[in-house]
Amino acid sequence: MQKPTILYASPFNPMQSGISDYSEVLVKALQEKYDITLLVRGYRLSNQQLTESCKVLDYDRDTIPYHSFDYIIYNIGNQPAYHDYIYQCCLEHPGLIILHDFSLYFLFVGVHGYKGDFMGAIYELEGAKGIHRIKDTVRKEHHGLLECKNLPSVMPLNHEILQSGNKIMVHSEYTYHKIMETGYVKEENVRKINHIALVDNTTDYMSKEELFALYNIPNDAIILASFGFISNTKLNHVVCKVISKLASQLEQKVCYVMVGEGTYVDEYVDDKVIFKTGYTELIEFNSFIKYSDIIINLRHPSMGETSGALIRILGLGKVCMISDEGWFAEIPDECAIKVRMNGIDQTLEDKITELIQYPEKRMEYEKNAKNYISSEYSGEIIVHQIADFLDS
């Protein structure tokens, strides 16, 4: 029996995005039930297994027969370079959007900035008040639109997507309720379906000795780590200060490794206590999770995003300290340690010290985290739920 067909639009590796990793895992799971064609723009996939099992169309090079597919799935994230063509496609050919961020401020700025109609688009969506807010913020902060960090939370700029006639799939109750509060989408056209687990028994790892030698990280230290792009919304500067202080107080040697790119906390990096890897291949990324003792994954303010890194971390059964807001707040209390912004420095210091001194506390979180991901985020469950939503 012939499988139903899906046109699946998303970044894929080598595009450096958590959504690339997510889509490679999800497509593999969906192939059990669907015949899938991938829609990309301007590059060749690095995953040979996908290129051999899926037809790949290039948005700029190929004629896209949108209406010949039974279903279309679009992945919408906040990175214009990866999602601008997908944004345009989903407005013209509605299907199912997997919405990875509630606020699409950066994507909207990129798309309409490139088209040269940004202020006109803002006026259409936000009126004169929106124009004034943007101009006033740029004037006060002396930054360009993409550097004004407070605007994404107050101007999510997701109107076009929510009013486009697409079904909307999200990964959190937080984003689901934020969408319903807008009044733009009918309840039956929005569904919360969990992220998919990103690691399994086939995941490859480097040896600890080989990995740590690459970055001159000591093998005898307690390793605290953060994963993903290094930015002020991840609060890496707070963690750097706390761990630098603890390193001078504790008898046990401690190191903080930031696994990812970003320059805003480079002043703290000394390659003795504070380390930064830059971009890593997936095998290194997963290996750093495996060999870390305590992981810190904070977000403030939340853009309604789901963290693929945290899904990997919990799936590998690692103890993690997370922000108590947005999607992160929905993780069960017994699976991760939640931290609020009020008094965060002292809270981090106290919790890290406790976890170092009492390793048995880490073990309970680790067991609960791994069980939670395997039971709630399995590929079989997620594919069944997506199929039900596509057919509804």
| pLDDT value, residue 149 | 72
**Which amino acid does the sequence have at 77?**
G
Alpha-carbon distance of 176 to 228, in angstroms, equals 24
Q: How large is the average pLDDT for residues 224-253?
A: 94
Q: How large is the average pLDDT for residues 11-25?
A: 94
Q: Which two tokens stand for residue 279?
A: 């971009």
Q: How large is the average pLDDT for residues 254-276?
A: 96
| pLDDT value, residue 290 | 95
| pLDDT value, residue 201 | 74
* Residue 333 reports pLDDT greater than 80: yes
**Greatest mean pLDDT among 85-89, 145-149, 228-232, 359-363:** 85-89
352-381: per-residue pLDDT in tens?
Answer: 999 999 999 999 999 999 999 999 999 999
**Greatest mean pLDDT among 111-115, 136-140, 245-249:** 245-249
Mean pLDDT of the residues in the chain = 94
Residues 6+ away with beta carbon under 8 Å from 62: none
Residues 6+ away with beta carbon under 8 Å from 14: 20, 43, 45, 46
* Residue 105 reports pLDDT greater than 80: yes
DSSP 149: T
- Torsional class of 99: left (φ above 0), alpha (ψ -120 to 50), beta (otherwise): beta
Q: How large is the average pLDDT for residues 149-178?
A: 93
Contact present, 155 and 105 (Cβ < 8 Å): yes
* Residue 148 reports pLDDT greater than 80: no
Of 112-121, 172-181, 216-225, 326-335, least confident by mean pLDDT is: 112-121
* Residue 228 reports pLDDT greater than 80: yes
* Residue 101 reports pLDDT greater than 80: yes
* Residue 218 reports pLDDT greater than 90: yes
Q: How large is the average pLDDT for residues 171-197?
A: 96
199 pLDDT band, cuts 50/70/90, is: confident
Compute φ and ψ for 295, nearest 5 degrees.
-115, 140
* Residue 114 reports pLDDT greater than 90: no
383 vs 326, higher pLDDT: 383
Percent over 70 (pLDDT), the chain:
99
138 pLDDT band, cuts 50/70/90, is: confident
Q: How large is the average pLDDT for residues 115-121?
A: 88
Contact present, 336 and 285 (Cβ < 8 Å): no
Q: Give the pTM.
A: 0.89
Q: Which two tokens stand for residue 67?
A: 């209406």
Compute φ and ψ for 198, nearest 5 degrees.
-110, -5
Task: Name beta bridge partners: 338.
Answer: 322
Percent over 90 (pLDDT), the chain:
81
* Residue 146 reports pLDDT greater than 90: no
Tracing tokens 């989408």 back to the chain, one arrives at 185
Contact present, 357 and 387 (Cβ < 8 Å): no
Contact present, 324 and 338 (Cβ < 8 Å): yes
Question: Where do runs of H (alpha helix) occur along the chain?
Answer: 18-30, 48-53, 80-92, 105-115, 118-141, 151-154, 159-162, 173-182, 208-214, 236-247, 282-291, 308-315, 344-357, 359-376, 379-391
301 pLDDT band, cuts 50/70/90, is: confident
* Residue 244 reports pLDDT greater than 90: yes
| pLDDT value, residue 115 | 84
Sequential DSSP letters for 315-336: HTT--EEEESSGGGGGS-TTTS
